[in-house]
Amino acid sequence: MACLFVWRSFAHDIESLPKGEQYKTTRFEFRYGHATRVVDDPENHMQRVYGGMPDSITVTDGIRLIVYNQPKAVIKSRSDSMDVMNDSLQHGGYMGMSSTGTYFVVDHKGVIQAR
């Protein structure tokens, strides 16, 4: 129980970042490992970061781009999570699926789907 409390205390809410910027959709880019992995989140479900904050967050033409240059965080929605390592993207929780793909989409339920 104590580990869960400590883990939750390091959560960051990224919903309002960057401050003062309006956006319609979110794209995550993980620019490390075997290839850049892209996760499109059209309904902005992925809003909690456990671990390190992104290396950059920008908004262009209504698209919020969140970039990580090294593995340092787990990003969560209410229904799923993603942990992007050098060689894979794990989603679906602790016992979830691991994929070496490069493009993913967060569906209307907040669940990550490989494309």
Report the amino acid identity of residue 68: Y
Give the per-residue pLDDT at 5.
44
Give the per-residue pLDDT at 4.
46
Give the per-residue pLDDT at 9.
53
Q: Is 67 a member of any domain?
A: yes
Residue 78's domain comprises 2-12+23-114
Strand order in the sheet with 81-84: 11-13, 48-51, 73-76, 81-84, 89-91, 97-99
Q: Is 17 a member of any domain?
A: no
pLDDT at 77 over 50: yes
Q: Is 55 a member of any domain?
A: yes
Domain count within the chain = 1
Question: Mean pLDDT over all residues of the chain?
Answer: 91
Q: Is 18 a member of any domain?
A: no
